[in-house]
Structure 1
């Protein structure tokens, strides 16, 4: 029984999709942990304990090509209102997290 080039390409595609799915699950777990820790440090409540992938792209880094994921999450200040923040991971490393709130330096003015 011989294996054709088309079979190898199809197998490679399936393996690639499985890798992407598993890598995305791991990245989501990491992003959720970062959001929970950041909310705890700011005395904010992460709502629904969930984050949602908003954008997926590829970024060139010194280490080569990496997936860049942008997640959205909702949080509340003292249980009042609902605000939206975002978190950016490049590979599995945090690039940016934003709550869209004034910084403490802005509050002092």
Structure 2
């Protein structure tokens, strides 16, 4: 018979895997919605986990921060990168390379 701690370890692994799948599905929905608002298409209909980290929520509890990358296209020929960060399952930030390039082209406010 398998020791109780081994069964508990397997159960924890299954729960963590299910949590990662739920977070990934949420990230895909968020990325797809953001692309549609930009009149773009989410390529491959997927996101890629690029980083994991920890942080504290407003109540001081330690939560997981996941960083995802994805690609989109506006014209069907070129690929543009995008990214999003989920913290405790909620969208923390979302960005697109085009936004960064546009802000870099803006004239300086200092003149």
TM-score bracket, normalised by the shorter chain, equals 0.7 to 0.9
SS of corresponding position for 2:28: helix
Number of residue equivalences: 104
1:95 partnered with 2:89? no
**Map of 1:53 onto structure 2:** 49
Q: Which of the pair is proportionally richer in strand?
A: 1
**Map of 1:70 onto structure 2:** 67
1:17 partnered with 2:13? yes
Match of 2:30 among 34, 40, 54: 34
- Deviating 4+ runs (over 4 angstroms): 105-109
Which ranges of structure 2 fall in alignment gaps of 5 or more residues?
none
Which ranges of structure 1 fall in alignment gaps of 5 or more residues?
none
Q: 1:34 and 1:65, CA in 2 relative to 1: closer, same or farther beyond 3 A?
A: same
TM-score normalized by structure 2? Answer: 0.80
How far does residue 83 in structure 1 lie from its aligned partner after superposition? Answer: 1.1
